[in-house]
């Protein structure tokens, strides 16, 4: 329905959507809640990075919440970045958002982002490859597979994010990621092995652990 209407609300803001991006979901608002709890100073000129920016719902919402912040959004899909750009303009934050076409599966991607950042956020693909066919038809058939497929165990993206974390997150900075059900322990382990310090996890409205954070 969101693709038909071309729009979905997130955090009280209107976001354009197309089949090039995931439809923003209430579960992902847990990322915003977590960030606001970890970084309560709304007047700091934070540097924010969104890995797999998609529609821009995370990055652009945070730029609205932090009016002095600047952000970078990376996505492998140029079609998705076009949607993000339109949303950034509509929400009045285009001047503080730099969008980069890039694929974190390619060597050297992290060095091209002009880090480190005070905050790195991501809602990466976290569905196990074999499980995608069993998702609801409106998800499995219409939403972009690149944004869903997390590899055989659903953790491929987290391994890449964890490996790049020490380069991307500034000392004292935060890494905040959305996760799938039952993935919290594994993701925290990956962050620990990369030299990051896992912090709290946050539950969504359904009581499922949905967000994991770590500190540099």
125 contacts 52 by C-beta, under 8 angstroms:
yes
**Which of the 8 DSSP states describes residue 149?**
B
Strand partners, 70: 47
pTM, rounded to two decimals: 0.92
Domain ranges in the chain are 2-215
DSSP letters for 192-209: HHTT-EEEEEEE-TTS-E
Residue 59 phi/psi, 5-degree rounding, is -60, -50
Look up the CATH architecture of domain 2-215: 3-Layer(aba) Sandwich (3.40)
* Dihedral sign of CA atoms 46, 215, 56, 37 in order: negative
- Over the stretch 88-144, which tens digit does the pLDDT of each residue have? 999 999 999 999 999 887 888 888 898 899 999 999 986 756 665 765 655 545 455
């Amino acid at each position: 329905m969101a693709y038909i209407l071309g729009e979905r609300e997130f955090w009280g803001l209107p976001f354009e959507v197309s089949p090039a991006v995931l439809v923003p979901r209430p579960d992902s608002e847990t990322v915003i809640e977590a960030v606001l709890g970890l970084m309560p100073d709304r007047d700091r000129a934070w540097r924010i990075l969104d890995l797999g920016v998609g529609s821009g719902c995370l990055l652009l919402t945070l730029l609205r919440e932090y009016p002095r912040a600047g952000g970078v959004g990376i996505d492998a899909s140029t079609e998705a970045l076009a949607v993000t750009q339109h949303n950034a303009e509509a929400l009045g934050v285009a001047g503080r958002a730099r969008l980069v076409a890039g694929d974190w599966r390619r060597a050297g991607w992290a060095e091209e982002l002009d880090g480190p950042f005070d905050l790195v956020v991501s809602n990466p693909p976290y569905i196990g490859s074999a499980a995608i066919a069993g998702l609801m038809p409106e998800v499995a058939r219409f939403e972009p597979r690149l944004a869903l497929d997390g590899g055989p165990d659903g953790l491929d993206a987290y391994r890449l994010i964890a490996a790049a974390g020490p380069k991307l997150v500034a000392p004292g900075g935060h890494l905040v990621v959305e996760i799938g059900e039952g993935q919290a322990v594994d993701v925290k382990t990956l962050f620990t092995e990369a030299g990051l310090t896992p912090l709290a996890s946050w539950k969504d409205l359904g009581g499922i652990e949905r967000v994991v954070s770590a500190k540099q």
